[in-house]
Amino acid sequence: ETRSTHWQDEVRRLAQERDAVILAHNYQEPAIQDVADHVGDSLALSRIAAGTDAGTIVFCGVHFMAETAKLLSPDKTVLIPTAQAGCSLADTIDADQLRAWKAQHPGAAVVAYVNTSAAVKAEADICCTSSNAVEVVNSIPRDQPVLFLPDQFLGEHVRRQTGRDNIEVWMGECHVHAGISPVDLRAQVAANPTAEVLVHPECGCASSTIWLAGRGDLPAERTHILSTAGMLESARGMTAETALVATEIGMLHQLRKVNQHTNFVPVNPKASCRFMKMITPDLLLRCLREGRDEIQLPSEIAEQARRSVQRMVAIGK
C-alpha cells in the first residue's frame, strides 16, 4: 500500500541520515518489525546493541530494553520512540525493595531478569533473559543461595530446570503472560489435540503445562517452554499442522514468516502488551526526525548496572 511504502522509505532514509540502526523486539507490531534492521528477543538485541558500528541505536521495544542497550553501548546515542513504554513486570520491584530483600539473605547471589530498571540491575550480581536464565543460574556455585527476580513463573521454571532448592523467587509477574491461564491452554489443547505447544516461561500456565504433561494430559514431547527466540528456532523445522502459542501475540508475525506451513494459533488472542504497542509507526518517524526520546542514565547507577549486564553477555559466548 502506498502510504506504508512511503512511510517505510522515509524511515529508512532518516535512519541512514542519522547513522542509526533500528532494533525491534519480537512483540512489536508487524510494520515496525518489517522496517527494522534486526528483530529478535531481548538477549539477541542486547548482543547486537553491544556490537553495532552505528552511531545511534533506535530501540523499538520497552524502556528497560533500550536502557540495557545504553548500558552496553554507553558512548552511543540510544533512542526509544516513547519513554512511556514501560513494563509492568519491571515495575514490581525497585532498588529499595531489592536492598531490603538482600539484607534478609546475606551471601546470596542476586540474579535479575533484564526486565528490571537500571537501578535494580545495579543492585544485582548478574542479569539474565528468558533465553539464558538456566545457564546463568548454573554459573553460580551450586551451594550458594540465589535470589531470583522479579518474575515468579520464570523463577519456577529455573528451579525446575536446575533442580536447585536454594532459589528464592520474587513474586512479580507480567500481566500479559500471567493472563494466559491454564484454562485457556486446556481449552485450546482440547480443540487442537495434535498441536505442538509453545509456552513462554513467564506464562501463568507454564508450570501447569508441565504438570499436565506429567499426568499425560498434554503430550510431553510436543510441549516446549521457550523464550521468543527459542520459539522461532523450533518453528523453523516444524512439520506439525498446528502450533499453540502462549506468549504476547506480536510473536505470531515472525513465527508465520519463518514457517508458512504450520498454523500458529494464540492460546489467548487478547495477550497483547500495551507497552510494546505504544511504539507506533508515527512515533518511530518522530523519533528519527527529532531524536527523541533519548535514554540517559546517572553514571553511578550505570557503572554498577553495566557489570551485571556484561557478566550475562559474557556467558554462552
Binding footprint of ligand SF4 on the chain (CB under 6 A) = 62, 87-89, 115, 174, 176-177, 248, 273, 275-276
Determine if 207 is a binding residue for ligand 13P (CB under 6 A): no
Q: Which is nearer to ligand SF4, 10 or 91 (CB)?
A: 91
Q: Does 41 bind ligand 13P (CB under 6 A)?
A: yes
Any contact of residue 174 with ligand 13P (CB under 6 A)? Answer: yes
Say how far apart CA 200 and CA 277 lie, in whole Å.
19
Binding mask 63-92 for ligand 13P (x = CB under 6 A): ------------------------------
**Distance, CA of 159 to CA of 155 (rounded, Å):** 6
With CA atoms as reference, report the closest residue to 66 among 316, 304, 303, 292.
292
Stretch of residues binding ligand 13P (CB under 6 A), selected from 2-10, 125-133, 164-172, 258-266: 125-133
Closest to ligand 13P by CB, 58 or 251? 251
**Does the footprint of ligand 13P cover residue 228 (CB under 6 A)?**
yes
Query: Which of these ranges, 126-134, 136-144, 216-224, 297-305, lies near ligand 13P under the rule CB under 6 A?
Result: 126-134
Which of 148, 275 has the CB closer to ligand SF4?
275
> CB under 5 to 8 A by kind: which of ligand SF4, ligand 13P, none does 129 bind?
ligand 13P
- Name which of residues 285 to 314 contact ligand 13P (CB under 6 A): none
Give the whole-angstrom CA distance, residue 124 versus residue 267.
34
Residue 285 Cβ vs ligand 13P, minimum distance, rounded to whole Å: 24
H helix count then E strand count, the chain = 15, 12
| Cell triple for 179 | 493472563
Concatenating the DSSP letter of every residue in 206-271 gives HHHHHHHHHHTSS-GGGEEE--HHHHHHHHHT---SEEEEES-TTHHHHHHHH-SSSEEEESSTT-
* 155 contacts 148 by C-beta, under 8 angstroms: yes
Query: Residue 35 Cβ, how far from ligand SF4 at the closest point, in Å?
Result: 20
Rounded Cα–Cα distance for residues 7 and 14 (Å): 11
Q: Give the one entry of ligand 13P, ligand SF4, none that residue 110 binds, where binding means its C-beta sits below a cut-off of 5 to 8 angstroms depending on kind.
A: none
Q: Does 116 bind ligand 13P (CB under 6 A)?
A: no
CA distances from 104 to 54, 98, 101, 108, 239 (A): 44, 10, 5, 9, 50
Q: Is 32 helix (H, G, I), strand (E, B) or coil?
A: helix
By CB under 6 A, tell whether 173 contacts ligand 13P: no
Say whether residue 202 binds ligand 13P (CB under 6 A): yes
Of ligand 13P, ligand SF4, none, which one does residue 88 interact with (CB within 5 to 8 Å by kind)?
A: ligand SF4
In the block, residue with C-alpha cell 520464570: 154
Our CB check for ligand 13P shows the closer of 117 and 227 to be: 227
Residue 275 interacting partner from ligand SF4, ligand 13P, none (CB closer than 5 to 8 Å by kind): ligand SF4
Work out the end-to-end distance of the chain between its first and last CA atoms, rounded to an integer number of angstroms: 42
Beta strands in the chain (DSSP E): 20-25, 38-40, 56-60, 77-79, 109-113, 126-128, 146-149, 167-169, 196-199, 223-225, 242-246, 263-266
Q: Which stretch binds ligand 13P (CB under 6 A): 124-132, 136-144, 186-194, 309-317?
A: 124-132
CA distance 26 to 250: 6
Measured distance CA(90)–CA(120) in Å, rounded:
9
Query: Residue 188: which of ligand 13P, ligand SF4, none does it interact with, CB under 5 to 8 A by kind?
Result: none
Contacts to ligand 13P by CB under 6 A: 26, 41-42, 115, 129-131, 174, 202, 227-228
